[in-house]
Amino acid sequence: MTRPRSMTSSRTRLARQRSRLPVGGRARGVALVTGAARGIGRAAVRRLSAEGFNVVAVDRGADDPRLPYSMGTMAELQSLGNERVVAIPADTCDAEALAGAVEIAERRWGGLDVMVAAAGVIAGGVPAWELDAEQERAVLEVNLYGVLTAARVGIPALLRRPEPRHGRFIAVASTAATRGLPMLAAYCASKAGVTGLIRALAVELGGTGVTANAVSPGSTRTSILDETARLYELASAEAFAAQQPHGRLLDPEEIAGLIAWLAGPESAGATGGDYPFDGGLAL
């Protein structure tokens, strides 16, 4: 099978990044965040770095030809770079490329303490049986397989930290994991898969010092919500505010606050959870 050009080029850029990286010291901890160019992933990078983490910010940095809306760009990803953040272009579904980003975290800062799987896409607007097969595949690959890939390459790095370790695997799910949303069946299925994966990981990681948790946002100001509004033929994403009991949309920075708490020492006793941050949408 011919490898997509975007995947090959991301690996080339990754190799160039590796060759330029110095070895640095460790701060509060080291985190890797996927889906970092925009939305919740971007907010998580900023919040974690502000709280003292060194962060590898990972994003594809290019559109997905299977989907009709714009993804995060290379310029948006690279704008995150500073003394605490290194921006790495990589497809979260490409295990080799993502493992390369993990390797950068280990070479530059000595290891990995937190893996945040925030990359996500959406497609729908029609009943499940009418959804274009390529769009369905894109949703399942990025939203679910991308989290599985993050676990496959990230958890071994978390476990490479010496005991007593305090590793964190955090996935961004959605209220859609538990609430049936019409004409978004693939998205609901992918997010339900994420929460099921988290429960299994929590059991498998028992006694290791590494926890696994999910965060389930409600309607949040992101490009995914804008695309959802388009799929539902709404004038704007603001229409979703009325569905949440607190009457407003959430901001990505709010979700990032919960991610930061889960990444910190205060959450050591929490594992296997699906934490709603949805303004009451799931009620």
Question: Which residues touch 56 (CB under 8 Å, ≥6 apart)?
Answer: 30, 31, 32, 33, 85, 86, 88, 101, 102, 104, 105, 108
Please give the structure tokens belonging to residue 108. 């530059």
Closest among 108, 102, 105, 196 to 153, alpha carbons compared: 102
Single out the catalytic residue among 145, 187, 232, 275. Answer: 187
Q: In what order do the strands lie in the sheet with 29-34?
A: 85-89, 53-59, 29-34, 114-117, 168-172, 211-217, 274-277
Q: Are 109 and 154 contacting, i.e. CB atoms less than 8 angstroms apart?
A: no
Query: What's the maximum distance between 2 C-alpha atoms anywhere in the chain?
Result: 53
Catalytic (active site) residue 69: no
187 close to 124: Cβ distance less than 8 angstroms: yes
Catalytically active residues, by annotation: 187
